[in-house]
Structure 1
Amino acid sequence: MMVLIVEVKYFNDKLVDRSGSALYNISHCDGLFLCVTNDNDNDNYNNYRLVVWNPCNGQTRWIKPRNSYNFFDRYSLGYEKKENNSLRNHKVLRFMDNYNWCTEQGLRDFEIYSLNSDSWKVVHLNPDWYIESDQRGVSLKGDTFWFAREKFQRLGVMNDFLLCFDFTNDKFGPRLPLPFSSSHLDTVALSSVREDQLAVLFQRCGTSRVEIWISDKIEHDAVSWRNCFLAVDMMKPLTPFKLQSNAASFLVDEKKNVAVVLDKDNVYRPTRDVAYIIGKEGYLETVDLGGSTNEDCPPLVCSYVPSSVQIKQAGP
């Protein structure tokens, strides 16, 4: 397993990597990366491009839009499960559910691209939930899990939950419970463990306590949780301690009972990227990851398992 660390910049939902190239989004599944780029590094919708890339063998596959890509688009990469596990139909989910205050119009679009058929399929959906712009989906066993919230909070209703997009049946599953209840000011982030379990980081606003929970069993329509994996008060020797991003980036090492959380070095004038190493005994170490190109750029970390999977190419 390899660890990939990228510094990204949130600016109107845009991501920019260290080299300055216009990388708007990145996700991975099954050894493949899905990258959203903009050739001219501006917000012209016509310049958005989508590419699937296998860094292990260098293969790429550029994906043409059904109509056009949009500034508000969200993406995830997954695959349809077959009886023969070696035969996988990789797919891309593209969706947006926003309100444009300039035009006073709602923007809603859900569609799925199949690499096997080289075609888009429209999914008709009117969700009563939303996924915040800084939340990143996590791929597990070919499906993608998201942290989501109820659009209109109501008493007696689960207002924060997990959602899974099932790439085999091309639909979102039921709301899955979290081991805690959060508000929109709290930090909630997702990560994968051994590519078959989900880890959730939680920090309540106004506290220095960081909790990490790991699922016991998880499928697209059900989840159960173990006891809390880590619960650490980060107040000492870090005073104060509040993760900068409401969707932090982290990795878990179950064997060593530690977690690595990436963040900025300072709340008010951040200049460097850092990694906080925490264990069951509490805070262990801060590792300097180097200078930050922009104080608004949160570092992103993910585990990557190299794969020789071949990317099916589009026909002539």
Structure 2
Amino acid sequence: MAMAMSDLPGDLLTEILSRVPLTSLRALRCTCKTWEALSKTHIFGKTDAGSTFLGFMVIDYKLCSMKLDLQGTHNNGDLVYRPSIKRLWLLEQAEICEVFHWDGLLLCVIKDERRLLMWNPYLRQLRWIQTRDKLHPSYMYGLGYENSNNNRNHKILRLLDVTKSSELGPLFEIYDFNSDSWRVLDVDHGSCVIKSGVSLKGNTYFLAEETWSEGFVVVKAKYFLLCFDFTAERFGQHLVLPFGAYVSSIKTVVLSHVRDEQLAVLHQLEDNNVMELWITSKIEPNAASWTRFLRVEMRPLSFVTESFFIDEEKKLALVSGFFKLFTSIIKRAYIIEEQRCMQSVEIGNARKPGNKLVLSSYAPSLVQLQINGRGKRKERDY
């Protein structure tokens, strides 16, 4: 007599369900209450690592999911990359300016709001986080957690970019998930200007710039990394980048990560079309060592990278950015491999100026958000 799925041993059932693609998770949850309950305590729906990019992006201030087969498909003998991009009906009216992803969570920065939105797509949980003022582009964010007795207390670091704002206010504020409160943080980050950050292993690594002057004339400016430790709540020492990092010779520097294990950096030089990508062989708050991952000649020459994703196994990178064509700004994404031609990825154009096409790879998480809100039309989410 055939055995029903509900009669299988728990360990075997969990192993079977873990092989279901992540994009089929909603159908799995609707099958029976037992599977729905199991999905809240176990990670089901693997993302077919090594063959599929699954992530999020912002197009025209709307949050979208993106699924891309990294192997591509053949069309009349040509290899093409056509992702499936779907708008998520998380907030129908809100304009989402930026999305930060770490530890399976997404932090959504919403235009003209006095609150942030934290979302766990896997558990379908929302948490609203009140702020003391309206959100605007002068703020940057670092995301991480404090390890305490093997428990993760998640935190958000908010930084005021003084180069973009004339308003007075605290340079650093930190939000604690456990206490549901903000507090001003008095930390020393030296004389550098912080540019952007990537979360990794519970900390945030920021790209920073420091200048040297003689009188009122800037002599040199150099990029480096600066880690914010969320357990100690302080910055570490300067971490050297793996290339000549003088600002005058660089067109673009962008940070990313490889899973939650390695940091990655991409840079393009100002005077040629060479793009290099590096990944860390070791990364700690006060130490980093690097190996070069890819080095390619970029076309078109004016392309500027805004975000990227690395697939180590396939030795390729997915990059998004823009280039100028006469007076127009054209948004593009490309698959880049060292030994093959660059392949265009059809992602469409973002029509509103200043809106980045930011790629963010996704891995599911069981982090509980202590819900204070639930998304509408959640059936369209994961």
Counterpart amino acid of residue 289 in structure 1: I
Q: Per-residue CA shift, 1:63-111, capped at 9, x if unaligned?
A: 122x334532211221112342xx210111112141577x6x6554211
On the 8 A contact 2:59/2:350 being kept in 1, the answer is no
Q: Partner of 2:367: helix, strand, or coil?
A: coil
On the 8 A contact 2:274/2:296 being kept in 1, the answer is yes
Match of 1:73 among 139, 151, 171: 139
Report the structure, 1 or 2, having the larger helix content: 2
**Counterpart in 2 of 1:242?**
302
**1-structure distance, mates of 2:119, 2:171:** 25
Q: Partner of 1:163: helix, strand, or coil?
A: strand
**Counterpart in 2 of 1:291?**
349
CA separation of 1:7/1:60 partners in 2, compared to 1, >3 Å: closer, same or farther?
A: closer
The alignment covers a number of residue pairs equal to 287
**Counterpart in 2 of 1:6?**
57
**2-structure distance, mates of 1:79, 1:165:** 11
On the 8 A contact 1:16/1:23 being kept in 2, the answer is yes
Counterpart amino acid of residue 131 in structure 1: I
**1:167 corresponds to 2:230:** yes
**Counterpart in 2 of 1:194?**
259
- TM-score of the pair, normalised by structure 2: 0.67
CA separation of 1:99/1:272 partners in 2, compared to 1, >3 Å: closer, same or farther?
A: closer
Counterpart amino acid of residue 201 in structure 1: L
Query: Over alpha carbons, which structure has the higher Rg?
Result: 2
Match of 1:29 among 90, 94, 102: 102
Post-superposition offset of 1:16: 6.2
Post-superposition offset of 1:117: 1.4
Shift >6 Å, 4+ stretches: 154-158
**Counterpart in 2 of 1:215?**
280
**2-structure distance, mates of 1:34, 1:167:** 17
**1:256 corresponds to 2:314:** yes
**1:232 corresponds to 2:296:** yes
Q: Which runs of 5+ in 2 are unaligned?
A: 1-46, 48-52, 65-86, 88-92, 373-382
On the 8 A contact 2:188/2:234 being kept in 1, the answer is no
Counterpart amino acid of residue 301 in structure 2: F
**2-structure distance, mates of 1:95, 1:189:** 19
**2-structure distance, mates of 1:24, 1:64:** 17
Post-superposition offset of 1:205: 1.3
**1:110 corresponds to 2:168:** no
Match of 2:358 among 283, 292, 300: 300
Cα RMSD between the aligned structures? Answer: 2.8
Match of 1:144 among 187, 200, 204: 204
CA separation of 1:258/1:77 partners in 2, compared to 1, >3 Å: closer, same or farther?
A: same
- TM-score of the pair, normalised by structure 1: 0.80
**Counterpart in 2 of 1:12?**
none
Q: Partner of 1:206: helix, strand, or coil?
A: coil
CA separation of 1:251/1:313 partners in 2, compared to 1, >3 Å: closer, same or farther?
A: same
Counterpart amino acid of residue 194 in structure 1: R
**Counterpart in 2 of 1:183?**
247
**Counterpart in 1 of 2:80?**
none
Match of 2:115 among 25, 29, 49: 49
